[in-house]
Structure 1
Amino acid sequence: MKTNLKFALLGLSATLVFSQCAPQKTEEVVEEVAEVKTPSLTLLWETADSLMTNESVLFDDATGTIYVSNIEGQDPLGKDGKGSIGIISKDGKIINASWVSGLNAPKGMAISNGKLYVTDIDEFVEIDIATAKISNKWKVEGAQFLNDVAAHEGKVYFTDMNTGKVHAYADGGITTISEGNESINGIAVSTDGTILGLDASGLKKWNADGTTTLINSAVTGGDGLIILGDGNFVASRWQGEIWFANDSTQTLMLDTKAIESNTADIGYNAAEKIVYVPTFFKNKVAAYKLDY
């Protein structure tokens, strides 16, 4: 009995030694890699083709109204008095194609303090939204091709594509805040007041000291600009392209050049992630769901 016990104890000791020396089994850790989603646009609707030479779309977050600027002719610099601002519904119905008439070649729009501000070749136009009447016009000194507009906390910013200038309107006065921006067009202002623009060099922002920093040099010659947040943007090119861009990448989401449908100064419904596209010579507005 003692001998058997001795061997039994020796066997137990050996088992313990081998178990301590043997490699320990570890659980395999599988790291999950998040799927990278490619930004895309899906067509929701198009208006009837009776918004003549529509250049810009503006969505009013406060009321849900969608404004459309109509050049109403072939010449973006023609002073013929045929230009207008129209209104369409959120499902693509034309409510009033000429809500305000008597303009020349209206382009960019922005809303500030109950007024709709519009560029019109060399004039900056103020429309009282409540009465649908033109309440003021300012001749901008030296202006040649006033284009996009953006508003922030009582100031309204607008570009002149031909002169390369950025102007600002506040309290009845217009000043020039930046020059030397080749073919400057699209402009937007972030919630913290940073101004961003699209010109021949690409997408850039203005610093507090008036200098600019280039964010993306690939999306050049842009028309409309949307700030999505988190460093992401949507930019359109008039020829028929809409891009998703940030400081390191860019993705072409829409290309309508083959069907000769332009993509001018786009508008955006942030709550529903809908991009509104003025098709210029196609005379209609198209709405796309943005997925990113």
Structure 2
Amino acid sequence: MKSTTIKLGLLGLFAAFFFANCASPKTEETTEEVVIEEVKTPTLTKIWETDTTLTTNESVLYDAASGKIYVSNIEGDPQGEDGKGSISIIDKEGKVVNQNWVTGLNAPKGMGIANGNLYVTDIDQLIEVNLESGKISNKYPVEGGQFLNDLATYDGKVYFTDMNTGKVHLLDGGKISTVTEGHESINGIAIGEDGMLYVLDKTGMKSLQADGTSMILNDVVTGGDGLVILGDGNYVASRWAGEIYFVNSDGSETLLLDTKNAESNTADIGFIPGDNIVLVPTFFKNKVVAYKLDY
């Protein structure tokens, strides 16, 4: 009996050892590294400003072909036909190159370049200026025009807004027509690479479809003044009172600049692509201020 007990005990130890070693192998613990991509907040950094000789400057336009920056100066009443308005030229460092490149205008506002000409809105007419000579080559009265404001060009065509009538007009082949209407307090206008119109009015920033319908892209930047298309669904928009916004592709916005307390306006902004410089006409402060945009 003693011998049998010893054998059974050895057999039990063997079995325990066997099953312990045949059990499922222990897996190594693994940890997943989660990478959180930092979302960069867009910013504006001031880099220069002009002298205060650009009286009541309303709009700034950069010409990539020449490197010149055109500035429209109201100088008098924004709605007055007083002949005091002018267009100046400044360079990319903020130096005023030609204070009185074009004179004798009334209340010039939005500008655009097409067909070798600079076009500028002037209350109730569209002015055409030859880029080489700086001479006014044509004037296009707009029937029923009241407060022509911002302007954009595309494929040789000139589109411009009338803030009082809520219309977008078109100059094409020497003739003016109305593209769309019913946009209360419309001002800023820009055109995408595909020819799509984007505008700023009382409802915010929106796109205008070919069938006449519109889609609101952002409802915070209401009553906007200047509009720049950056690409990839991103935009920069200004409000005259002293605000500049970055609008993302998802329609959300970031306030880039607020100069209301300084009583410095942010009217119809311009943009230098490549350098990512936003050009801000300050209206009553009589100067243009340049900011570097990082986004």
TM > 0.5 fold call: yes
Residue 4 of structure 2 corresponds to which residue in structure 1? none
Residue 155 of structure 1 corresponds to which residue in structure 2? 157
Residue 235 of structure 2 corresponds to which residue in structure 1? 233
Instruction: Tell me by how many angstroms 1:57 deviates.
Output: 0.2
Residue 37 of structure 1 corresponds to which residue in structure 2? 40
Matches within 5 A, 1:91-130: 91-130=93-132
Residue 3 of structure 2 corresponds to which residue in structure 1? none
Residue 187 of structure 1 corresponds to which residue in structure 2? 189
Instruction: Tell me by how many angstroms 1:13 deviates.
Output: 4.8
SS of structure 2 residue aligned to 1:259: coil
For residues 26 and 98 of structure 1, the distance between their equivalents in structure 2, rounded to whole angstroms, comes to: 75
For residues 38 and 104 of structure 2, the distance between their equivalents in structure 1, rounded to whole angstroms, comes to: 51
Residue 276 of structure 2 corresponds to which residue in structure 1? 273
Counterpart check, 1:65 vs 2:65:
no
SS of structure 1 residue aligned to 2:228: strand
Instruction: Tell me by how many angstroms 1:27 deviates.
Output: 2.3
TM-score, normalising length from structure 1?
Answer: 0.93
For residues 95 and 64 of structure 2, the distance between their equivalents in structure 1, rounded to whole angstroms, comes to: 18
Residue 292 of structure 2 corresponds to which residue in structure 1? 289
Q: 1:48 aligns with which of 28, 31, 51?
A: 51
* CA deviation string 1:62-104 (max 9, x = no partner): 221100000112x101111111110001011000111111111
For residues 60 and 104 of structure 2, the distance between their equivalents in structure 1, rounded to whole angstroms, comes to: 18
* CA deviation string 1:169-226 (max 9, x = no partner): 1110000011110000000000000000000000011112111111111110000000
Question: 88-97 vs 238-247, which deviates more?
Answer: 238-247
Residue 22 of structure 2 corresponds to which residue in structure 1? 17
For residues 30 and 153 of structure 2, the distance between their equivalents in structure 1, rounded to whole angstroms, comes to: 57
Where does structure 2 lack aligned partners over 5 or more consecutive residues? Answer: 1-6
Question: 96-105 vs 186-195, which deviates more?
Answer: 96-105
For residues 17 and 112 of structure 1, the distance between their equivalents in structure 2, rounded to whole angstroms, comes to: 83
Q: 2:85 aligns with which of 83, 86, 89?
A: 83
Distance 1:21 1:224, change over 3 A: same
Instruction: Tell me by how many angstroms 1:7 deviates.
Output: 11
Distance 1:273 1:9, change over 3 A: farther
Residue 206 of structure 1 aligns with an amino acid whose one-letter code is L
TM-score, normalising length from structure 2?
Answer: 0.93
SS of structure 1 residue aligned to 2:251: coil
Residue 243 of structure 1 corresponds to which residue in structure 2? 245
For residues 174 and 79 of structure 1, the distance between their equivalents in structure 2, rounded to whole angstroms, comes to: 21
Task: Pick the structure with greater CA Rg.
Answer: 2
How many equivalent residue pairs? 285
Where does structure 1 lack aligned partners over 5 or more consecutive residues? Answer: none
* CA deviation string 1:100-142 (max 9, x = no partner): 1111110000001111000000010000001111000011000
Instruction: Tell me by how many angstroms 1:232 deviates.
Output: 1.2
Distance 1:27 1:143, change over 3 A: same
Percent of aligned pairs with the same amino acid: 60
SS of structure 2 residue aligned to 1:242: strand
For residues 228 and 131 of structure 2, the distance between their equivalents in structure 1, rounded to whole angstroms, comes to: 23
